[in-house]
Structure 1
Amino acid sequence: MAARETPPGACPQCWQHAYDKSIHRKLKPGEDCQPCLDHMHNGHPYLVPKKKSS
C-alpha cells in the first residue's frame, strides 16, 4: 500500500500505523504493538504542523 501523506495536526507514526496494515500483521493475536503503547503512555513526539489560516 502506498504511504498516505500525514495530514496537518496528526502524528506521522500514528497515521502510518492506522493506515498501513502490514505494520501490525506480524503481531500475534492479542499481542500489543510496542510503538503504539509507547505513544499511548508518553504522547506524540512530533505532530505535523498545521498551516496558518489566512
Structure 2
Amino acid sequence: MAPKPVRPGECPQCWQHAYDKSIHRALKPGEDCPQCVSHMISGCPFLTPKKPSRWW
C-alpha cells in the first residue's frame, strides 16, 4: 500500500513518519526515532504554538 499523499499545510517529514510504518519498523520497543527527535528539537516549521488557555 502506498503512503498517503501529504495534505497541503502539513509537514512532509511528520506526515511520512506518521503514516509510513517501514520507517519505524527497525526500532526496538520504547526506542525513540532519532529523526523524529531531532526534528522536534530543532523545530518543525509547520507546528504553531497553542493559544493560552482562558479557563480561569
TM-score for the superposition, normalised by structure 2: 0.70
Alignment RMSD: 1.4
In the alignment, residue 26 of structure 1 is paired with which amino acid? A
In the alignment, residue 20 of structure 2 is paired with which amino acid? D
In the alignment, residue 10 of structure 1 is paired with which amino acid? E
CA distance in 2, matches of 1:4, 1:12: 11
SS in 2 for 1:4: coil
CA distance in 2, matches of 1:10, 1:42: 17
Q: Equivalent residue for 2:32?
A: 32
Q: Provide, for residues 13-54 of structure 1, a one-character-per-residue CA deviation record: whole Å limited to 9, x for no partner.
A: 100100111111100111110110011111125x5xxxxxxx
Question: Which structure has the greater CA radius of gyration?
Answer: 2
Q: Equivalent residue for 1:43?
A: 43
The structure whose RCO (Cα within 8 Å, separation 6+) is larger is: 1
List structure 1 segments (4+ residues) > 6 angstroms apart after TM superposition: none
Aligned-residue offset at 1:3: 2.1
For structure 1, the residue ranges without an aligned partner over 5 or more in a row are 48-54
Aligned length: 46
CA distance in 1, matches of 2:15, 2:43: 14
